Copies of this chain bind each other. A is one copy, B any other.
Amino acid sequence: MVNAGKPLPGRSGRPRAGEERLSRHAILEAALRIVDTEGLEAMTMRRLASTLGVNPMSIYHHLPNKAAVFAGLAELVFAQLESTPPDDSVPWKDELKTAAAAYRDALRAHPNLALQILSDTSAVSDVVVVVVEPFYRSLDRAGADPRQIVEAVNTIIDFIHGFSLGEASVRAETFDLAPDLLARVSALPPGKAPTLVRVVTELGAEGLAYDFDTGFATGIALLVDGIATRFAL
């Protein structure tokens, strides 16, 4: 399948009006499809051009370079984050949890891309500013002061990033690591990590079956309780 989407012959030069084959948006859509189906490293400029049926260089008339393509993809992903409308009837803790879940969902929708997004500051910072409003709103409503709001939101966002990183990595893997973990822990040199070994064996294989959804809910709940306790909200 190396030559799939090879450029059509006999169609070089500027296309006639209304038959442009390329646009920033079309390029980004194609790029996202490659990333989703074949992974990050499959998304090369040459491969992208090939699926668009176009010369590799044509892309550079719409996006300055490969980094810009990835930045554009990050934009696309965050744009899909549905903004929760303000609703003062729901308790602030629930509003916070809803915002957290929405943010996680946006990152989870494209696991192969999450990795790239989270490690590319320039891609994130432009959009994260807007994404963050519902977090600010609920904490403001809870009565936290500006300093506390910033600290709490930063912490929640960091947790979501770390969680999503783990979630995306496992999604990208082929093998199942739940029983793997049990095996690896059992194989540890005896004195090395006694508490870990005891806890893991006490839980057993079925107790270790990790569920990302409840893992996320628990993490957020711990954080929200911590915020309420520490800031007396």
Contact = CB atoms under 8 A, between A and B. Distances in A.
Interface of A: 115, 118-122, 125-126, 129-130, 132-133, 136-137, 140, 146-147, 149-152, 154-155, 157-163, 165-166, 169-170, 172-173, 177, 181, 184-185, 188, 192-196, 198-200, 202-203, 207-208, 215, 218-219, 221-230
Nearest to A224: B226
A131 to B, nearest CB: 9
Contact of A165 (B133, B146, B162, B215): B162
A199 B146 contact: yes
Interface centre among A126, A159, A163, A177 (most CB of B within 10 A): A159
Kindly report how many copies of this chain are found in the complex they form together.
2
Contact of A129 (B118, B185, B225): B185
Contacts of A115: 119
B207 A119 contact: no
Given A140-B195, A225-B230, A188 B121 contact: no
A120 B169 CA distance: 7
Contacts of A195: 133, 136-137, 140
24 contacts: A115-B119, A120-B169, A121-B166, A121-B169, A121-B170, A126-B184, A129-B193, A133-B193, A133-B195, A136-B193, A136-B199, A140-B198, A140-B199, A146-B202, A149-B199, A154-B215, A155-B223, A158-B159, A158-B163, A159-B162, A161-B162, A162-B163, A221-B230, A226-B227
